[in-house]
Amino acid sequence: MPGTTLNWIDVDGGFDSGFMNVVVARGPDYTIFFDPEWAEYALDDEDPAAAYGVEYSGILYYGCDEALPGNDDREKIASLKEMSAGEVLELPDLGVSVKVGKESQSNINGLGDITVREYDIHWGGEEAAESELVSVAEEFDVTVKVVWSEGPPSVVAGVALTSAPKPLSLRHASALGNCAALVD
């Protein structure tokens, strides 16, 4: 729900660093997040929309300052949840290939016991150098772990669920960039 906070850590050989994302809007196949730390340290000439990102079906993430997938691609992304392990979805318009992985059980502080499903994402096609393995909490349609092709993995250490959804504030609504079309 809007107002929920996800607390992330980057795990790097004993030197963990943390950051948070706050849910500011949610729709049938997307969740828009705000990164308060980015916004706090952004330079005056930086696009405020870069502090926001949208996650489609908990699987693919785009910055709100980037071009976003169209409705057809969004439907295809949502169909990944119905696919079997080993199946691959090609999204040529987005330059993305997604291989559906296995399911497992996990426990995350604030969410409890959840089912997690892996998705192996290749940006630029199947053999692309830039890839990430995302783990999605199926009950919540939200990414809870990302293993990057380079750099330390990022994991959700805890979630602070809000008791009631918070309405989209004017501050957030005015800075959503390309994501504003999703909430109109």
**pLDDT tens per residue across span 128-160:** 568 899 999 999 999 999 998 887 889 999 999
Tokens of 158: 């805890």
Residue 82 has pLDDT above 60, yes or no: yes
> For the segment 2-27, what is each residue's pLDDT rounded down to a tens digit?
999 999 988 876 666 778 899 999 99
Residue found by looking up tokens 């980037």 in the block: 66
- Please report which confidence band the pLDDT of residue 126 belongs to, taking 50, 70 and 90 as the band edges: low
Mean pLDDT of 115-128: 83
CA distance 120 to 89: 10
CA distance 146 to 150: 11
Residues 6+ apart with CB under 8 A from 48: 39, 42, 175, 177
Check residue 150 and give its pLDDT: 80
- Comparing 117 with 123, the larger pLDDT belongs to 117
The full length of the chain comes to: 184
- Please report which confidence band the pLDDT of residue 47 belongs to, taking 50, 70 and 90 as the band edges: confident
Residues 6+ apart with CB under 8 A from 154: 8, 9, 10, 11, 145, 146, 148
Nearest CA to 19 out of 119, 125, 152, 135 is that of: 152
Check residue 15 and give its pLDDT: 60
What rounded mean pLDDT belongs to the chain?
89
Check residue 179 and give its pLDDT: 95
- Please report which confidence band the pLDDT of residue 171 belongs to, taking 50, 70 and 90 as the band edges: confident
Check residue 8 and give its pLDDT: 92
Asked whether the beta carbons of 110 and 126 are under 8 A apart, the reply is no
Give the CA diameter of the chain: 46
CA distance 74 to 155: 25
Neighbouring CB atoms inside 10 A of 125's CB total: 12
Mean pLDDT of 46-69: 94
Could you tell me the pTM of the whole model?
0.90
CA distance 20 to 41: 14
Mean pLDDT of 31-41: 86
Highest mean pLDDT among 28-42, 117-131, 133-147: 133-147
Mean pLDDT of 163-174: 82
